[in-house]
Structure 1
């Protein structure tokens, strides 16, 4: 028999002006979507199916009422207590400050691989603890991102001075505006800005309509990247800067963006934020390892090795 167990929560956004009963649609929708992404991510990676159901809002109030719902056709009554503990742990971690003692990437990966394997089986056996759920929630990179988006959207609305979170009718936390930052990821710590990076261009994008990535070599490694410097791109599109071989380089502000696949650190993405200068080094050579599988050429992108 299919059964459901739910736990009710609410987020109340409290304004500086006590007479105010309106909130920016962008703030509220971003906050709600990030919580939904957080719940979906947890369910997808653990196999523990948790849904988010919003209730009708109280007229004249800016307060979100919602249920976290767990459903399982093989429901066992003995699991009810553990289920509510897990649902509460999810929300408590979502509203808590980020841990100060951040694990290294290697430690985080090992911990989460173990959690992916064990969480669902422990849950079904009725042995899953809130501490084990918290360990997973603390160190999954995408969960931290969704949580950060929620709190940043709330912070960006200058009218909100605090957020009150309830379980049923009991307040479980009241987060003041000065404490919003402790729940937001510092992007400067997640991404690395490489100043005056020298990147040799192997495949520039020559047409304005193209959405392809540029290709180049940085420190003997082939990378793909988007260029965000519009002044530089316009000089390329107009023909002021000409690429005749893979000896043209740019001196730039290069952003290295960490990527994760199933909480394993994957190949990073790159982005050129600003081009400081460019030049030609005819003595530079690039070793290219050609794939045995022929790939289709990208429209608007010039391969300087063909």
Structure 2
């Protein structure tokens, strides 16, 4: 896959993305988050909509408040992973803005003020339930064929699908859903904007299907655990990346099991 890269962004700054839209890239770089989480600031008549406040970091919260002048009218969450949710409570406390998120939160400690379901309108956008990376993941359809794709589709990397919150069958269906929409630009939760995203989403689907077929072929050769499958199918050596690969392998195996193509005894998987 041809992923997009970008230079490390200016820290603490509201970087223009589109007319009326900017992003602050949180200072939480890692192998899983690239340069950091994109916190989007969307201008509106009643103030700014903040999409994904980012990690629980006092400096990042102050950056958001400075860029918006504290005029935050709503807080939207794509999903409740900590690198997106962390600053939400602090931003709500400082601004009084209501929080909007999927009605079935994957974080027992968080309940949004406004419960969103698939297709609901939210401050001028449409919420699309796109589980796969996370059970409560939402993308937000904006104006003019623009989709805030969060961690469902990112330009710099494919997404990890880690059970139990991640589900590979859901991920396949959600990729198909956004591909059929035909949007012209994705604004992801990490990394740079993704223009002409539909062929890219098709590549993601093909890549996942190829990996699934490789796993099925490996099981046809004999029973295996997840880590031997990682060793067979991946070349990653970094411990974090190997762990991410193992979670993806498990997600594929659970999908194969649900389809009657694999079974598990203890921690050993085999073809049916």
For normalisation by structure 1, the TM-score amounts to 0.24
Q: Which has the higher contact order (CA 8 A, sep 6+)?
A: 1
Report the structure number with the largest CA radius of gyration.
1
Q: Which has the higher strand share?
A: 1
For normalisation by structure 2, the TM-score amounts to 0.26
